[in-house]
């Protein structure tokens, strides 16, 4: 078997599982879970095999088959294999594997077990499709598939109104971004005449002026797609609500799929965006999202919402990095973030399960001794998120800060440090309140450690969170984005020390803000029974708690306007279309029918008379004139 | 006046009108049927006259066919009348108004 | 001579035709119809359609009218009791028939008379039969099938337990 087949198999395995579960094994829980888990784990193993044999830069970079041909638009269905997509394929299948296995434990009690795994497999398939797509059209299709599967999974407990609403919100908000994205794709096609990434890149290399005046608009429109999918300001509102789904789904959305898709797409088409001049806007949006979300995270009480706003903040960080012209740091952070955010969510899932579905952190506490595995792995995730050397988050965050320095974006550098401080603060708050101190509820006093099927994925992800920064991920990414950055060295020790050698200012300031944040969190929260901040900050705390009232703002403007339109449309439908058009036709038909019915007397002679009259008329017509 | 084609056609037309009038006015099914026969015969007369004055035998062949078809029609029609009578005990068209809404 | 006969036969045919319409007893109507048909047979003779005249008497005057009489007998129809004459039906019938007749006669008056060449055609059985079995063979066969179908239909309709 040739190596070229492997990516296709990896891509379609989850789809196969999803179809089989839906069609055949819906009523057999073990089979459904087995199929789904086997598909994704096998996909991960095949990915490893593929990288082992073909390397990061496979010989056949592109495999495609012609799919549609409309006029001079050629749409292909194909795979694009370069360090970026291969690495991402590995990460997606890897993290998804851990989450699948974990789900087997987490969802054990649920009645929709098979449906859940079918959705999970479909989700993985869609994300792999985005990662491997070789053209915009295919990417967009999988992009929408991700939206659909996220809808299915966020609304998994659809009998709960809030879950159904959250699913709808996520889907509709994404649609807004996707609309811009589609327009962007069309602009690209109009301006450059192709949708294939390789062809586009070659065209731009050959003739950089080809972009022309459409550039900035197209760049921003494509960015719209990422704004929706990666939940950037102002379309970020869906992500916190998406917490209504099962916790492993949140992990999947926040780590390997969905939100990662936006950032990944931006990196994939970075060659288009860079010359378009949209970068400053992208950096601004990213920075704004990041700082707002970080502030909001500080005052959340729901453990999953804290992590959700944390994801928002980290995504803003990545988008900011792209805006500063650094796709490599952005992707680096995306991957390490995938490791530690999946870990944090799965850890949170264990805590929630142990606390009998209690999500308020102020009703937990003291879980350190009762759930040691969860505590230690969660600590690893938290430290990676906060960015302590040598955890992975430190390296990726440092590379973003270094990018800000080297690109002379000092404002963003300071902003980044501020966000890093806030990050350390809120994750410190989470750790201290949930795991230390004493129990604040009965459920937590009897909390038990998660079963092995859930604990082992945590351990695996904890290891990855620790080592993710210095096992060569960055050097692989550097191959994907040819640039002026120096080729990093290979050895672990040199990678560990790398940040301090290349950009000591960024590295040391990162360590410094970590220390400050950790200290602040300890000082404020150690041993408290309730949050002391609302009293100190007053209305600002309330604003943070409500995520700066964006939901209310949208409810008051966009949704009210939308409702107004809906009322008009309803009135129009009810009175003009149904009333005038439909009922008018029906009414006049009935009236004519009533009139004509008078003619049907049932009397033979009347018929004969009418018949004779008809004959007379015809005769007159033919002869008489 | 010499009896030419016009005269024969005039007789045929009057006979036809008579039959048609009967069909419209009479209410006994059987009589209506007889009036139908009158109309058919009027047509026969016209055809025979055309045949005679055009020196063409085809018209007579048509009359032959019409007579045959009329025989078939009469037999079926009368059988229907008998069947209706058996079922309803009526031969008046006014009493046969089930088609009315 | 022939013209006189034509007028006699025509007048009789029309007169008996009126009686078919007006008589209230179906039996009288049927008898008047027989007479009309016989007069028409006479007209056929005047038109030199001898074969048709014979058939007219045999098939119409004989078979068909016997059928009518049988049915009248079968239904045991008395003379119709006097019903109210429908003025509407009467006027309607007059209008419709009048319209058709007036159109008919108008076009008859406007038409050119046919060329009055020598009338040599004789409707003898021999030429008629020859034409029937050569030029009109297929219609002839079809008509025979039609008669068969009619016969089967009548048998079916006449069965006692008609659904």
Contact B51 C113 (CB under 8 A): no
State how far residue C31 is from chain A, nearest Cα, in angstroms: 24
Q: Do B64 and C132 touch (CB under 8 A)?
A: yes
**For A234-276, what is each residue's pLDDT tens digit?**
888 888 888 888 888 888 888 777 888 888 888 888 888 887 7
Tell me the nearest-neighbour CA distance from A580 into chain C, angstroms: 41
State yes or no: pLDDT of A291 exceeds 80. yes
Residue B66: predicted pLDDT: 93
Coil vs helix vs strand at A196: strand
pTM exceeds 0.90 for this model: no
Separation between Cα atoms, residue A527 and residue A261, nearest integer Å = 40
Which residue(s) pair with A62 in the sheet? A80
Residues of chain C contacting B41 with CB distance shorter than 8 Å? 36-37, 40, 60
For A550-585, the pLDDT digits (tens) are 778 887 788 888 889 999 999 988 888 888 888 888
Backbone angles phi, psi at A76, to 5 degrees: -110, 160
What is the distance between the alpha carbons of residues A520 and A391, in angstroms, rounded to a whole number?
Answer: 20
C105 contacts chain A (CB < 8 A): no
CA C24 to chain centre: 20
Chain C window 73-92: which residues touch B at a Cβ cutoff of 8 Å? 74-75, 77, 80, 83, 86, 89-90, 92
As a whole number of Å, the CA-based R_g of chain B is 17
Distance CA A313, CA A296 (A): 9
pLDDT at residue C71 tops 60: yes
| CA–CA dist C51, B67 (Å, integer) | 12
ipTM of the complex as predicted:
0.88
Lowest pLDDT segment from A328-332, C80-84, C145-149, C151-155: C80-84
Of A357 and A621, more confident:
A621
Residues 64-103 of C with CB under 8 A from A: 86, 89, 92-93, 95-97, 99-100, 103
Strand partners, A78: A64
C-alpha span between A364 and A441 (Å, rounded): 6
C18 touches chain B (CB under 8 A): yes
Residues of B with a Cβ under 8 Å from any A Cβ are 20, 23-25, 27, 32, 93-94, 96-101
Q: Which residue has the tokens 């009210």?
A: A560
10 Å Cβ neighbour count for B14?
19
C91/chain A closest Cα distance in angstroms: 10
What confidence tens digit (pLDDT) does each residue in A424-449 have?
888 888 888 888 877 777 777 777 77
Residue of C nearest to A623 (CA): C107
Q: Contact partners of B by the rule of 3+ C-beta pairs under 8 A?
A: A, C
Residue B53 has pLDDT above 90, yes or no: no
Q: Is the CB of C140 inside 8 Å of chain A's CB atoms?
A: no
Phi, psi for A207 (deg, rounded to 5): -140, 90
User: Which residues does A520 contact at the CB level (< 8 Å), separation at least 6?
Assistant: A421, A425, A428
Chain A positions contacting chain C at CB under 8 Å are: 605, 609, 612-613, 615-616, 619-620, 623-624
| pLDDT per residue as tens digits for the range A174-196 | 888 888 899 988 888 888 878 88
């Amino acid at each position: 078997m040739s190596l070229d087949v492997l990516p296709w198999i990896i891509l379609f395995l989850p789809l196969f599982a999803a179809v089989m579960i839906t069609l055949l094994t819906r009523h057999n829980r073990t089979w459904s879970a087995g199929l789904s888990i086997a598909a994704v784990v096998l996909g991960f193993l095949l990915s490893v095999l593929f990288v082992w044999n073909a390397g990061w830069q496979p010989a056949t970079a592109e495999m495609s088959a012609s799919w549609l041909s409309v006029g001079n638009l050629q749409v292909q269905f194909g795979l694009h294999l370069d360090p970026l997509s291969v690495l991402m394929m590995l990460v997606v299948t890897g993290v998804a594997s851990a989450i699948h296995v974990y789900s087997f434990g987490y969802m054990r009690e649920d009645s929709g077990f098979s449906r859940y795994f079918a959705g999970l497999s479909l989700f993985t398939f869609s994300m792999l499709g985005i990662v491997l797509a070789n053209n915009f059209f295919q990417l967009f299709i999988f992009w929408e598939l991700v939206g659909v599967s996220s809808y299915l999974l966020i609304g998994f407990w659809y009998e709960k109104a809030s879950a159904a609403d959250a699913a709808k919100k996520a889907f509709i908000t994404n649609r807004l971004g996707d609309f811009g994205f589609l327009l962007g794709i069309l602009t690209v096609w109009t301006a450059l005449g192709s949708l294939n990434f390789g062809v586009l890149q070659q065209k731009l290399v050959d003739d950089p002026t080809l972009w022309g005046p459409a550039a900035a608009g197209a760049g921003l429109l494509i960015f719209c797609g990422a704004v929706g999918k990666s939940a950037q300001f102002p379309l970020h509102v869906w992500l916190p609500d998406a917490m209504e789904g099962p916790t492993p789904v949140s992990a999947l959305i926040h780590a390997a799929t969905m939100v990662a898709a936006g950032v990944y797409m931006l990196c994939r088409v970075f060659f288009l965006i860079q010359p378009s001049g949209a970068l400053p806007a992208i950096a601004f949006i990213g920075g704004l999202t990041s700082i707002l979300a970080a502030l909001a995270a500080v005052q959340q009480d729901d453990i999953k919402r804290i992590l959700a706003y944390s994801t928002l903040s980290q995504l803003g960080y990545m988008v900011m990095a792209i805006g500063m012209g650094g796709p490599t740091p952005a992707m680096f952070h995306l991957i390490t973030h995938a490791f530690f955010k999946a870990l944090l969510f799965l850890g949170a899932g264990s805590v929630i399960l142990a606390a009998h579905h209690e999500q308020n952190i102020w009703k937990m506490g003291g879980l350190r001794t009762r759930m040691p595995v969860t505590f230690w792995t969660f600590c690893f995730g938290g430290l990676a998120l906060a960015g302590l050397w040598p955890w992975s988050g430190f390296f990726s965050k440092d590379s973003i800060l270094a990018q800000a320095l080297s690109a002379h974006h000092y404002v963003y550098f300071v902003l980044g440090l501020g966000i890093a401080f806030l990050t350390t603060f809120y994750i410190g708050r989470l750790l201290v309140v949930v795991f230390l101190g004493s129990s604040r509820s009965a459920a937590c006093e009897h909390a038990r450690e998660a079963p092995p099927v859930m604990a082992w994925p945590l351990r695996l992800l904890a290891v990855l969170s620790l080592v993710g920064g210095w096992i060569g991920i960055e050097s692989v990414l550097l191959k994907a984005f040819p640039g002026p950055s120096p080729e990093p060295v290979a050895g672990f020790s040199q990678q560990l020390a790398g940040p301090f050698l290349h950009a000591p200012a960024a590295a040391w300031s990162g360590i410094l803000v970590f220390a400050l944040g950790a200290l602040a969190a300890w000082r404020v929260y150690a041993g408290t029974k309730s949050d002391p901040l609302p009293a100190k900050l007053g209305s600002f705390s309330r604003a943070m708690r409500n995520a700066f009232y964006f939901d209310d703002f949208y409810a008051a403007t966009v949704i009210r306007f939308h409702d107004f339109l809906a009322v008009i449309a309803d009135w129009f439908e009810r009175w003009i279309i149904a009333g005038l058009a439909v009922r008018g036709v029906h009414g006049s038909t009935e009236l004519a029918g009533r009139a004509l019915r008078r003619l049907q007397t049932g009397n033979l002679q009347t018929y004969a008379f009418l018949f004779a009259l008809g004959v007379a008329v015809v005769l007159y017509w033919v002869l008489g004139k | 006046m010499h009896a030419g084609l016009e005269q024969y056609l005039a007789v045929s037309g009057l006979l036809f009108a008579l039959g048609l009038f009967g069909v419209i006015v009479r209410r006994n099914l059987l009589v209506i049927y007889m009036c139908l026969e009158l109309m058919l015969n009027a047509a026969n007369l016209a055809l025979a006259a055309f045949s005679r004055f055009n020196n063409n035998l085809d018209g007579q062949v048509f009359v032959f066919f019409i007579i045959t078809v009329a025989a078939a029609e009469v037999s079926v029609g009368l059988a229907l009348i008998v069947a209706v009578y058996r079922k309803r005990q009526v031969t008046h068209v006014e009493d046969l108004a089930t088609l009315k809404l | 001579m022939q013209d006189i006969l034509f007028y006699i036969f025509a007048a009789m045919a029309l007169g008996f035709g009126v009686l078919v319409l007006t008589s209230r007893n179906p039996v009288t109507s049927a008898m008047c119809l027989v007479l009309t048909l016989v007069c028409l047979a006479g007209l056929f003779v005047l038109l030199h359609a001898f074969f048709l005249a014979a058939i007219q008497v045999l098939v119409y005057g004989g078979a068909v009218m016997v059928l009518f009489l049988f049915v009248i007998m079968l239904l045991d129809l008395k003379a119709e009791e006097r019903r109210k004459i429908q003025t509407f039906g009467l006027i309607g019938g007059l209008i419709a028939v009048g319209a058709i007749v007036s159109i008919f006669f108008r076009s008859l008056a406007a038409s050119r008379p046919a060329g009055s060449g020598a009338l040599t055609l004789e409707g003898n059985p021999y030429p008629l039969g020859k034409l029937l079995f050569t030029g009109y063979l297929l219609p002839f066969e079809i008509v025979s099938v039609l008669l068969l179908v009619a016969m089967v239909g009548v048998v079916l309709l006449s069965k006692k337990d008609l659904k």
